[in-house]
Structure 1
Amino acid sequence: MKNGFFAKTVKQYSSLEEKIEAVGWNTGNIVFTNSIINLLECEIVSEDAEEGTLSNFDQFITTELIWLRENVQPWLSLTKQLEKAGDKPLVPISIGLQSKYFKKDFCLHPEIISILKAMEEKTCFAVRGIYTYDILYKNGIRNMEVIGCPSLYQIPLYQNSFDFLKDYKYGKAVSNFRTFDTDLTEKEYKVLKYLSKNCDGFVEQTFDYIQNINGSDREIDKWIEDSKSIYFDVDTWLLNSKKYNFSIGSRFHGNVMAILSGVPALFLAIDSRTKEMTNFFDLPSLEFEDFDEYRTMEYYRDSTNYDNFIKKYNYNTQNFISYLNKCNINISEKYKEKFSNFLLK
């Protein structure tokens, strides 16, 4: 079965504005997109493709539903992809709700529910975690599997074993944070201040200016401007991540990129999205509100334990592959070989 993947790619010589638009105003999206391309047998197709091109595919893959917001109506990219897919399956990988907390009465727009019910008649959904699964189930969705995020299944493509997560020493740290689209809380200010004093680098993924940094205190702002890196391609991101020995922050894909490059990471759980992922994969995490600014960075590094993550990794990956088989999507030959060899280590 031939799979088309609706995706935007970043053109090397395009303008900054064009690159920002291509990544959907969040460079973490290139990590997700890259994982689909690396792991699955699929071909990138534009949502503006003509019928002649679309007719070559048996089904299509979409990542449009990774940020489902409460009460939001269907948006243009989603409706366009549904129209282009026509009667063919549109496989969503992986659906996730955007909620600050695990809101039990999270309300999906009726039109979104109708779209999901129509989609599930043709394919099985990949969903991020148990919370998303439960909310979708309450809204009548049944044909779905919990698979986490494909980006973490790429480890065998970049590492030969899990040794880098077992034997490590603290050295230089790199950090990441949330989108700076709202005022910082007092706790966020303290954590960001700590990171500015204890980290050697900062990975920025979005393009907002910091809001409300305690009046005249501009040290953090200056540190971010002097230390930040923004990446529009995975290879450069991976290469530069190798300069560090530890990653810490609330950006899921920022920390995933560190892991793929061989650098352990501690996830600061700031919302349900991060918590869903860390819970599913058993990743080392710390509730954001529990972060102690009086602890040393060495303490956080030494307390970052990947034993449970490693124990579950094979099972989770096999579960992901089983889901793909259910959807008639093959894993790439390169990944098949790398994963088989990885299991022997």
Structure 2
Amino acid sequence: MNRVAILTECKPYNPNRTFTEQLNSVGGNTGNNAYITALMDIFSAARVDYELLDKTLEDDEYDVYIVGNLSWIVEDTPLPDFYYDAFRKITNKGKKFVPISVGTQVFDYKADFKYDPTTLSFLKEISEQAVIACRGEYTAELLSKNGVKNVEVIGCPSLFHTKDPNFKLSKRNYLRKNPRIATGITPWPNEKMSTSLVKEYLGYAIRNKIDFIEQADNSWIEFLSETDKSFKGLFHTYFKQFGKMFFDIEEWRVYSRELDFSFSGRFHGNVIPLLEGVPSLFISIDARTKEMCEYFKFPTIDIQEFCFDKTLEELYEMADYTEFNKSYSGAFIKFENYVEKNNLKIVK
């Protein structure tokens, strides 16, 4: 069996770090932990920091290097140099460079999305030695249209952390009295999302006393409250009581098991509860989220269509997992087939 490494800048959890150090250790997004720990568990893979790549290659420790940081490809913007450097070093040693969960960062589906020429050439070169895994049909179609043909849609591998093709989500017919509910949102991935809309969303959470799961630097709150100091005070008071942030993935899972319901504009803010059996309603805030929700057939609302007059019970009713339950095994089998094509194996 091939020896597998996850190439990442994210560090293992250490409770002794400062808040800033913790945030840096997860690449600025705690959701990265869900993705990385899933890949490590699925493939029994080691975590390798980019800074240690030269040594691991010199010591011939691994055969396949999985890269996940290509999920945020921005229009007409080159990738950081370290991706190219890592690819050259890995392939020059006869090892495999496998990008899993390649995605496109844009606020809505854009047919004429333009890749930076160096990024496009790089993706074509990658596809000559590995099958590129895409987050959704939109990214796969864009790549194919631009000449990158060796691609497959597998969604986000964090959904396969169950390692169970028969995984299904069941829910009560009703939301129990005094439920514990979590939500979350970060507006910066969608430049078209209005300040007033984000404030409405947060206001809904505040009125209903819902836990708020933050996954990134919340400096965007400062931006939202530049002209509304009362909002800033209201949110900070709310966040002190209901705010949560998890740098330890196991702590996040344990917390999620206590929830009755989750609805979130952060993808992994819903995936973690979902994998713990909690009904989750996905709030689509950009194309990157939208294509994954469509692929997995999650119950989803576009943020622009969120009705703030709905009760929590009505939102709960919208979390219908009939289609997800029907399609999950097929998605899992497709993931298994993709894995085999890249000389990988799911370790059960």
Settle same-fold status: TM greater than 0.5: yes
Distance 2:174 2:279 in 1: 8
Is 2:91 aligned against 1:86?
Answer: yes
Comparing 18-27 with 273-282, greater Cα deviation is found at 18-27
Find the partner of 2:31 among 23, 28, 31: 28
Paired with 1:165 and 1:144, the residues of 2 have a C-alpha distance of 35
Cα deviations by residue, 1:119-153 (Å, 9 ceiling, x for unpaired): 11111100000110111112110001000001111
- After superposition, the C-alpha distances for 1:227-281 in whole angstroms (9 at most, x for unaligned) are 1111111100011112220111110000001112221111111111111011000
1:46, CA displacement in angstroms? 2.5
- Equivalences for residues 332-343 of structure 1 within 5 A: 332-333=347-348
1:106-185 counterparts in 2 under 5 A?
106-155=113-162, 162=168, 164-165=170-171, 169-170=175-176, 171-179=179-187, 184-185=194-195
Residues 74 and 104, structure 2, Cα contact 8 Å, conserved in 1: yes
Corresponding position of 2:213: 203
Provide the residue aligned with 2:11 in structure 1: 9
Q: Note if 1:304 corresponds to 2:304.
A: no
Kept in 1, the 8 Å contact 2:136–2:154? The answer is yes
Among all aligned residue pairs of Structure 1 and Structure 2, give the percentage whose two residues are the same amino acid: 30
Kindly state the Cα deviation for residue 326 of structure 1 after the two structures are TM-superposed: 0.6
Residue aligned with 1:49, SS: helix
Q: Where does structure 2 lack aligned partners over 5 or more consecutive residues?
A: none
Q: Is the 8 A contact 1:321 1:331 kept in 2?
A: yes
Give the unaligned 5+ runs of structure 1.
334-345
Alpha carbons 1:89, 1:119 under 8 Å: kept? no
Secondary structure (helix, strand or coil) at the match of 1:48 reads: helix
With 74-83 and 55-64 compared, the bigger mean Cα shift is at: 74-83
Distance 2:49 2:130 in 1: 21
Residue aligning to 1:215: 228
Which 4+ runs in 1 deviate beyond 6 A?
none
CA shift in 2, pair 1:131/1:36, >3 Å: same
Distance in 1 (CA, whole Å) between partners of 2:90 and 2:174 is: 47
Which residue type is aligned with residue 22 of structure 2? K
The 1:18/1:77 distance shift into structure 2, 3 A limit, reads farther
**1:192 pairs with 2:202:** yes
Deviation at 1:207, TM superposition (A): 0.8
Deviation at 1:3, TM superposition (A): 2.0
C-alpha separation between the residues in 2 aligned to 1:166 and 1:304? 11
Q: What corresponds to 1:336 in structure 2?
A: none
The count of residues paired between Structure 1 and Structure 2 equals 332
The structure 2 residue matched to 1:64, chosen from 58, 65, 69, is: 69
* Residue range with higher mean Cα deviation, 40-49 or 101-110: 40-49
Shift of 1:216: 3.5
TM-score, normalised by the number of residues in structure 1: 0.90
Give, in angstroms, the shift of residue 285 of structure 1.
0.5
Change (3 A) 1:259 1:32: same
Change (3 A) 1:163 1:49: closer
- State the 1:48 CA deviation: 2.2
Letter of the structure 1 residue corresponding to residue 264 of structure 2: G
- TM-score (ref. length: structure 2): 0.89
